[in-house]
Amino acid sequence: MTTDPAAPPLPRPRGPLSAAVISRLREGRGRLPSDDEIRRADPYGADPQTALYVLYELHYRGFDGVDDDLEWEPELLAVRRPLEETFLAALRADVPTTGLAAALSALLTEPSADDGTDVSRHLHHRGGLGQLREYAALRSLYHLKEADPHAWALPRLRGQAKAGLAAIEFDEFGAGRAEDIHARLFAGLMTDLGLETRYGHYVDLAPAAALTTVNLMSLLGLHRSLRGALVGHFATVEITSPPGARRLAEAMRRTGAGPAAEHFYAEHVLADAVHEQVVRREVIGGLLRDEPALEADVAFGIHATGHVEDRLARHLLTAWRAGRSALREPLPPAARPRHDSSGPSPASRSSSSAS
């Protein structure tokens, strides 16, 4: 069994595929789904994405009560393979195929006005504490392990690409200071918002579109053959972060979320502005000097990241504009906002500010 005291419990299943995988992990027996059953499922659906998320988490913290040795159990890997193949095939079919120069140019172009599809702009202008809490709960599935998936690229790169990536990861992991690890900074943000900071706590509330954003980076990180696409994912995160982080920091300030909530995004405005230059010139540039054949893979990683993020944005904004929760179940209200106790509750702010 895992000895990590921070290991989360297994999530709830969302269909026969995830139920079979979770049952095998919990009980050590039971029939696993066949290739045909997996390939008939919607690759973006909640059931296969939950199964994939559970299998990937065996490579991170694992689960309470689950044997660590199951990380490399052959029958579970045999289930993971068709889950990954159908997900990857759907992504390749659904994303555009442009050259790398065009893909990078699109990342560097900040829209001049709110076109109604940008979550950070919505939260900046109209989001209340309730919507910020939902957004943070969903993003916690990644941010509480921030930078971990990209670290898998390090042994697969060399020269300037490795050095550039290592320099950025060093910052993400606190530059040698445990209190500055970005995952720990995000936990502080969650505390300010009255959220539970335990790793993986909100997975059962996450819609399928949120799971795909987390599963994509694990998929790319765990396969050496996809190292170019992982660099594309990394570039997308670092290049697009500063404008969105600036808007989210201002949203936290406007709503009185708290100093730690504001600081997390303010930190990313400063850090990622520097990282953007390093990732383009050193990580991508260094990788393509060493392996020019990976240029199309880097572009695919950029486009795939944009695709899953756009799907999540549509889900969030559709729900919020309709005045309802974007989660599978609404969050319980914070017992008491830490830094704005004189105002209305987070729930009432959310309902009054939904667009």
Closest CA to 147 of 52, 255, 253, 60: 60
Kindly tell me the sign of the dihedral angle through the C-alpha atoms of 258, 196, 186, 325: negative
Q: Directed axis angle between helix 295-321 and helix 129-143, to 10°?
A: 150
User: What does the mean pLDDT of the chain come to?
Assistant: 92
Which tokens in the block code for residue 254? 């406007």
The predicted pLDDT at position 352 comes to: 30
Instruction: To the nearest 10°, report the CA torsion of 282, 285, 286, 289.
Output: -160
| Whether 334 contacts 192, CB under 8 Å | no
The predicted pLDDT at position 44 comes to: 98
- Would you write out the chain's pLDDT as a tens digit for each of its 355 residues? 777 888 999 999 999 999 999 999 999 989 999 999 999 999 999 999 999 999 999 999 999 999 999 999 999 999 999 999 999 999 999 999 999 999 999 998 876 656 667 999 999 999 999 999 999 999 999 999 999 999 999 999 999 999 999 999 999 999 999 999 999 999 999 999 999 999 999 999 999 999 999 999 999 999 999 999 999 999 999 999 999 999 999 999 999 999 999 999 998 887 777 888 899 999 999 999 999 999 999 999 999 999 999 999 999 999 999 999 999 999 999 865 555 433 333 333 333 333 3
Which tokens in the block code for residue 242? 């500063």
Buried b (16+ CB within 10 A) or exposed e, 140-156: bbbbbbbbbbbebbeeb
Closest CA to 123 of 136, 109, 108, 104: 136
The upper half-sphere exposure of residue 249, i.e. CA atoms within 13 Å in the direction of its Cβ, equals 17
For the entire predicted model, the pTM comes to: 0.92
Query: How far, in Å, CA of 228 to CA of 210, rounded?
Result: 23
| Whether 47 contacts 53, CB under 8 Å | no
Of 3.30.70.260, 1.20.910.10, 2.30.30.40, 3.40.50.2000, which CATH number belongs to 100-353?
A: 1.20.910.10
Other beta carbons within 10 Å of 90:
16
| Whether 87 contacts 38, CB under 8 Å | no
Query: How far, in Å, CA of 215 to CA of 243, rounded?
Result: 24
**What single-letter DSSP state applies at residue 146?**
T
